[in-house]
Chains A and B, each alone.
Chain A
């Protein structure tokens, strides 16, 4: 205490000076727009610096779920690769590629930065864009199934039309067992269920049958998992099956996605265009 008193009595003028300066500084930073915005900028920078670390920590905690998804996808890919024919001799299988050794599809991985599932037409945003080669009309897959189609992309982000869209999404899907295909749409009620129509009613069905993409649209590769049959009934108006498909991917919990790029798309487009021209000529 004595030390403090001596300090004050010796430097009282300086203490008083500092006291006045503090008042002035408080006034400056609380009343002036320029300094306030600077202070706000500094605090925002500090805040984002701290929350960057928090986000990193949170994504570290989510590693387990992400890992499980990756393992499941790996398993599916392994099955695809080795599990079908030649189970005795799984390695070194020669691929007879009728396209002349060309790879058709390539993938870009991305993460979802914004997602919605509770509207009539749903969209999500991913952190890949033109810079990564993502352009409209590309398919988007999740580890366990299809997720949507890119409708717009900026330099580093892309907007994806979710498969959960009432009028905007029609996906060619097929029954894995019998190979019959139909059109997959969403009716806007349940985010886990889509409907497959246009399958003739003489096709035999069982609950639990697998639905996959049929690869005719050049957006998704053939054979990507979509979901399983959860129920079916005959549509009285059309006479086709109306099949409820339970999606294998939980659209509300999407995190990692893969954008599908079709390397032969331009070529396919070209040949389809000549077909259109031929049809037009025939009609004339």
Chain B
């Protein structure tokens, strides 16, 4: 996390995609819910780096997940949306003139709210586009909520293990 280049970005991406596809997608909690962890790449991407590169990499990680799940474009779309809105959120909520913004300056509640809203938005997009049925709107919403909560727990664990809050 100290000196990240495009090369380390790609390594992290490969790690996260492999973790998601080969480990997490084989876990089904309560019968049908699968934790989603790979958006942490987007959420915890270092601030103040090339935003175009950030968007492109977000699109790429979503697309690689799609490639394994045969759901072309769906995860790519959702991941790019949360990446773009992360830049929007932190541009408006902080003073852009300072170059020292980081998660350290956030309170824990703000940090957790950011994590949950991101994963919720992500799952909302993914599942509604994937099922694409307005008749099952409440069933899908329940699915989105449960999946978001489960994934949220996994993301907190990831953040604690890699000490994201302190480092990024």
List residues of chain A with CB under 8 Å of any chain B CB.
Answer: 12-14, 16-17, 20-21, 23-28, 30-32, 34-35, 38
Shortest C-beta distance, B111 to chain A (Å), equals 24
One of B59, B74, B76, B80 near A32 (C-beta < 8 A): B74
Interface of B (DSSP majority class): helix
Chain A residues near B62 (CB, 8 Å)? 24
Distance in Å: Cβ of B70 to nearest Cβ of chain A = 8
When distances are taken between beta carbons in the complex, the residues of chain A under 8 Å from B55 are: 13, 16-17, 20
Q: Which residues of B contact A34 (CB under 8 A)?
A: 130-132
Query: For residue A30, which residues in chain B have a CB less than 8 angstroms away from its CB?
Result: 72
Contact B73 A24 (CB under 8 A): yes
Query: Known contacts A26-B73, A31-B73, A32-B72: does B80 contact A17 (CB below 8 Å)?
Result: yes
Task: Please report the number of residue pairs spanning A and B whose Cβ atoms sit closer than 8 angstroms.
Answer: 57
**Could you jot down 14 A-B contacts, CB within 8 Å?**
A13-B55, A13-B84, A14-B84, A23-B73, A24-B73, A24-B77, A26-B73, A27-B63, A27-B72, A32-B73, A32-B74, A34-B131, A35-B129, A38-B132
Chain A neighbourhood of B56, CB < 8 A? 16, 20
A118–B153 CA distance with the chains assembled, in angstroms: 73
Of chain B, the residue at the smallest CB distance from A26 is B73
Whether the Cβ atoms of A28 and B51 lie closer than 8 Å is no
User: Does residue B30 face the partner (Cβ distance < 8 Å to A)?
Assistant: no
Query: Per-residue 0/1 for B50-93: is the Cβ within 8 Å of any A Cβ (1 yes, 0 no)?
Result: 01100110010011001000011110110011001001000000
Chain B residue numbers with a CB within 8 Å of A28 are 72-74, 77, 129
Q: Residues of B contacting A13 with CB < 8 Å?
A: 51-52, 55, 84, 87
With both chains docked as a complex, state the minimum distance between the C-beta of B139 and any C-beta of chain A, in angstroms: 15
